[in-house]
Amino acid sequence: MGEVVYVELPDVDTTVEAGDQFVVLESVKAASDVYAPISGTVVEVNEELVDNPGNINESSYDAWFVAIEMTDPSEVDKLLSAEDYEKLYQ
């Protein structure tokens, strides 16, 4: 994707379902949708990321998108660990 230069995040109180498109990332080369990993309501948005989208390029773990209050905590069991996710891209 390249260096991220723009981030579009949902508003607080937005309801999302697992698999819904809820974030847009843009780089010089492409635009990509990000899909909600779990269902719930957005309770916090990382406004710093909107103002400084390049933070994603520097530290993906510190550049969180949103905090979601889950409606179905069992959905967490379907998520990959960070280690398993990295293995997909090696």
Q: What does DSSP say about strands 66-70 and 21-27: parallel, antiparallel, or unpaired?
A: unpaired
pLDDT value at residue 90? 75
Locate 61 and state its tokens.
């773990």
pLDDT value at residue 19? 96
Selected residue with higher pLDDT from 82 and 71? 71
Cα(18)–Cα(65) distance, integer angstroms: 15
**Which domains are present in the chain?**
4-88 (2.40.50.100)
Handedness of CA 25, 54, 38, 81 (dihedral sign): positive
Q: List pLDDT tens digits, range 20-49.
A: 999 999 998 899 999 999 999 999 999 999
Q: List pLDDT tens digits, range 47-80.
A: 999 999 989 988 877 889 999 999 999 999 999 8
Label residue 75 exposed, middle or buried (CB < 10 Å: 0-12, 13-18, 19+). middle
> Which uninterrupted H or E stretch holds 6?
strand 4-8
